[in-house]
Amino acid sequence: MDLSDLLVPDAVKVFGNMSSKKRLMQDLSDIVCSAYGVCPVNAVDALQEREALGPTGVGHGVALPHARLKDIDRVVGVFVRLEKPMAFDSVDRQPVDLVFGLFAPEDSGVAHLKALALVSRTLRDPGVCAKLRANSDSATLYTVLTESESTRAA
């Protein structure tokens, strides 16, 4: 599994100022709707339910909100770079500016966990994160995310 299997160029966005975590979840849901045809109401509800179990801010400015949904047939992702970091209740209490949302079928099991591990590994790489933070063009961000896996494998 590669990030290019989870992510399409239309699912990568840059936002300036995000007013709240709830607004961010709504925007992630809108992106997954426009890029993959997922019901945004179901997506935002599932993200908020998961977030209520514990924050998905993993530290170093990265958040990995994720949810399982009835209305999709494969694991898909959305990526957002925030130009202004926001509070996210992260484990290290640092604001978040790199957000990778994952949406998986309810019965995805191992595929969901593998996708989460792949995204987590990618966004733990300080070089990848530096490149993501240095760019504001969605197409460039998509390239950084999807090409980073081939350079790590080499």
| Most distant CA atoms of the chain, gap in Å | 41
Burial class (CB in 10 A: 0-12, 13-18, 19+), 138: middle
Residue 77 DSSP symbol: E
State yes or no: is 66 an active-site residue: yes
Q: Which of 13, 66, 81, 112 is catalytic?
A: 66
d(CA 86, CA 95): 5
Give the catalytic positions in this structure.
66
